[in-house]
Amino acid sequence: MLRYVSKRLGQSLLTIFLTVSTVFVLIRMAPGDPAYALAGPLASTGDLEKIRTSMGLNEPLLTQYGIFLRELAAGNIGKSYSFQAPALDVVMARLPNTVFLAVLAILAAIVVAIPLGVWMAKRADTKRELGVNVLTIAGQSMPDFWIGIMLLTLFAVVIPIFPSSGFTSWSGVVLPVTTVAIMQIALVSRMVRREVGANMTAPYLTVARARGTGEQKLTWAYAMRNSSIPILTTLGTRFAGMLNGVVVVEVVFNWPGLGSLVVRALETRDYPLIQATVLVTSVLAVGVQLLIDLCYPLLDPRVRLGKVSVA
């Protein structure tokens, strides 16, 4: 167990390092000039040159990368160009809002999608299941921004019962969470339907049913338990993805999270802010994945970490 955790921690650190390094190179190869974005269109060539020199952007890429790694080892990501504050502090100030949105959305997905998926599995190939399946496919297919705009138009403009933007009250949470949760519910319910459906027709459940075991126990104690690992993996993957910032939803609802922060950082070519955001979200994502891996033996005693594949 300890060996497995150490190995996974090493892999996680390598993943974070490669992710941060790749982003460091790619954003400097992308078109755009941070000095121009900071100084504006009226800046002279001399002014732009002074700004680039002060930012260290005139140095060779390899030199910039070496300085970045040295500062990163010291816990310094750099100062945000646009906020004129430590980039890591800016990111950490926005992080709770994104985590809050992601937690509520994944809880909504768990509460709705798991019972819905089980319901679909137990009524497989019926007209009612087909109707619900069409709705989940529609929920999975519709883009986030379209769902958000439709909800915004209906419940903030036509029937103004929720605020249209910001996070100033609990009512402001409803529309962003609903927008994010719809796609998660569609994805997770279809996963639950497939896994539980496959277990419901397995021979061991046929034997248990012949011995008089009740349907509730067959469904939740047997079929659902044997489906728990792929379902947990899906939930963890979706949650980690949301921690990277639900960019479109945050922009549509002016949600003060990491997604809208990344959009602003890209617009202003704020390299330290982009790097800090990638670092924090990478740490969170690999942390969630590691936590899920450690939960596998709790769900299925046959799984021995580092010895048996659970894929």
Token pair 């909504």: residue: 108
State mean pLDDT over 136-157. Answer: 89
- Residue 307 is predicted with a pLDDT of 54
Contact 34, 285 (CB under 8 A): no
In order of 34, 52, 128, the CA distances from 81 in angstroms are 8, 11, 55
Contact 300, 228 (CB under 8 A): yes
Residues of the chain with pLDDT > 70, as a percent, come to: 96
- Residue 117 is predicted with a pLDDT of 94
Report long-range pairs for 49-52 (Cβ below 8 Å, ≥24 apart): none
Rg (CA), the chain: 24
CB under 8 Å to 293, separation ≥6 — which residues?
8, 305
- SS3 for 158-186 is HCCCCCCCCCCCCHHHHHHHHHHHHHHHH
- Residue 62 is predicted with a pLDDT of 92
Q: What is the pLDDT of residues 3-25, one digit of tens each?
A: 777 887 888 899 999 999 999 99
With cut-offs at 50, 70 and 90, classify the pLDDT of residue 303. Answer: low
Contact 156, 163 (CB under 8 A): yes
Q: Residue 282's closest CA among 252, 253, 258?
A: 258
- Residue 304 is predicted with a pLDDT of 62
CB under 8 Å to 183, separation ≥6 — which residues?
139, 140, 142, 144, 147
Inter-axis angle of helices 87-122 and 271-299, nearest 10: 40
- Residue 111 is predicted with a pLDDT of 95
- Residue 245 is predicted with a pLDDT of 57
- Residue 120 is predicted with a pLDDT of 93
Task: Give yes or no for residue 168 having a pLDDT over 90.
Answer: no
- Residue 308 is predicted with a pLDDT of 47
Q: What is the pLDDT of residues 226-252, one digit of tens each?
A: 888 889 989 988 888 887 657 778 888
Determine which helix (DSSP H) or strand (DSSP E) holds 50, and give its type and residue range. helix 45-55
Contact 272, 38 (CB under 8 A): no
In order of 9, 165, 263, the CA distances from 245 in angstroms are 23, 17, 10
With cut-offs at 50, 70 and 90, classify the pLDDT of residue 131. Answer: very high
117 vs 194: CA distance, rounded Å: 8
